[in-house]
Amino acid sequence: MKILMLGGTEFVGRAVTDAALTRGWQVTVFHRGRHAAPPGVRVLTGDRTTGGDGLASLADGTWDLTVDTWSDAPSAVRDAARLLAGRTGHYTYVSSRSVYEYPTPAGLPEDGPLVAGASPDAGADVPYALAKRGGELAALDAFGDRALLARAGLILGPGENVGRLPWWLERTARGGPVIAPGPRDAALQYIDARDLASWILDAAANGLGGAYNTVSHPGHTTMGELLDTCVRVTGSRAELRWTDPDVLLAAGVEPWSDLPVWLPAGELYDSLHRGDVAKAHAAGLRCRPVGETVADTWEWMRERGGKAPQRPDRPLVGLDARTEAKLLAATDSP
């Protein structure tokens, strides 16, 4: 197959590109030139944020599949999708489960209520949920049932440039006592970027269209298994200090951002860790064991000197040292 990857040099886009190359597909990468493209691809450059002129290099060519991971202005998805509608067979837009109206109840399937007010014509600086839903609408408008909407949730794995799993790996690698957010058996739901990429390519090859919640089953792993694995693969002597969620919240700790991945029980936890994924798994989605995801992410980080890149448009995550020290001191108190 011939695939056009809009992006393709970082995290999810790179995972899709690598997976397609492994299958022997012909891959064209369209990007802004800020990062090196993978070897073996045809490279087109342009800046889709500048409108029509930025897409000039896409004026010619045909593809079986276009994959788009765009997360900003929906109008950029609109412009690319309209330009390519007559020259590509299938369009996959990597969306988000954030497009569902909040609060999202546990077990909500793909036909649940969606955020209102999203527009495919919106420019930059719209909230993330509206941007992703606007991107969906743009893809559907141009491709109809040839558009596949992959509604991912928490995405982990090698190449992660948001900092969630890398932060835990860096922190446990430093050793010593580590604040671990309880309970240990809190069930997690996520997707390894490589498993998402593999499913996207299979789904496109099979002509699937419409929306799919593309994450693991709820409880694919637990907070305890995730952090225990971080300690094991880094070979550190970190001591996980499991701490009650009420203690953390009372200390001003922000779930998800200060302690990545973790959410206390409640509406947001139900939204992100208890979604219905029966449709995608019936369509072949498979998720590798958490141990493989963690170990491979650590190996990738070690190749980079123990650090991971950080997307400039995303805030830094992780608990600051002072707050952690105070919490650790409190856990040491009689």
With tokens 């593309």, the residue in question is 214
- pLDDT recorded at residue 50: 86
Check residue 166 and give its pLDDT.
Answer: 98
Mean pLDDT of the chain: 96
Q: Which of helix, strand or coil describes residue 280?
A: helix
- Which 3-state string (H, E, C) describes 93-128? EEEEHHHECCCCCCCCCCCCCECCCCCCCCCCCCCH
Q: What is the pTM of this model?
A: 0.96
Does the pLDDT at position 334 exceed 60? no
pLDDT-based confidence at residue 331 (cuts at 50, 70, 90): confident
Classify burial at 112, counting beta carbons within 10 Å of its beta carbon; exposed 0-12, middle 13-18, buried 19 or more.
middle
- Residue 327 neighbours by CB under 8 Å, 6+ apart: 179, 243, 247, 248, 251, 253
Short-list 134, 9, 152, CA closest to 79: 134
Q: What percent of the chain has pLDDT over 70?
A: 99
Mean pLDDT of 268-279: 97
| Predicted local distance difference test score (pLDDT) of residue 52 | 73
Q: Which tokens sit at 37? A: 């493209």
| C-alpha to C-alpha distance for 114 and 306, rounded to whole angstroms | 40
Average the pLDDT over 96-122 and give the result: 96
pLDDT at 246 over 90: yes
Q: How far is Cα 160 from Cα 308, in angstroms, rounded to an integer? A: 7
Domains annotated on the chain, with CATH: 2-152 (3.40.50.720), 160-188+218-273+289-332 (3.90.25)
- pLDDT tens, position by position, 138-173: 999 999 999 999 999 999 999 999 999 999 999 999
Q: What is the dihedral of CA 292, 297, 303, 305, to 10 degrees?
A: -140
pLDDT in tens, 207-227: 999 999 999 999 999 999 999
Residue 51 has pLDDT above 80, yes or no: no
Average pLDDT score over residue span 187-209: 97
What average pLDDT score do residues 49-55 get? Answer: 85
The residue-averaged pLDDT of 233-246 equals: 97
SS3 category, 222: strand
Helices 128-143 and 74-84, packing angle to 10 deg? 10
Which residue type does 246 have?
D
User: What count of other Cβ atoms lies within 10 Å of the Cβ of residue 23?
Assistant: 14
- Which parts of 97-244 are beta strand (E)? 147-152, 155-156, 177-181, 187-188, 191-192, 210-213, 221-222, 239-243
> Terminus-to-terminus CA distance in the chain, angstroms?
64
Instruction: Using pLDDT thresholds of 50, 70 and 90, give the confidence band for residue 330.
Output: confident
Spatial separation of the C-alpha atoms in residues 213 and 61, rounded to whole Å: 31
pLDDT at residue number 314: 85
In angstroms, the Cα distances linking 195 to 128, 219, 238 are 23, 17, 29
Residue 333 has pLDDT above 70, yes or no: no
Q: Check pLDDT > 90 for residue 124.
A: no
pLDDT at 313: 82
Distance CA 150, CA 164 (A): 21
Between the alpha carbon of residue 172 and those of residues 95, 168, 214, 234, 291, the distances in Å are 31, 6, 29, 7, 15
- Measured in degrees and rounded to the nearest 5, phi and psi for residue 34 equal -80, -25
Of 232, 239, 225, nearest to 188 by C-alpha is 225
The conformation of residue 57, written as its DSSP 8-state character, comes to G
Is-cis flag, bond preceding 183, omega within 30? yes
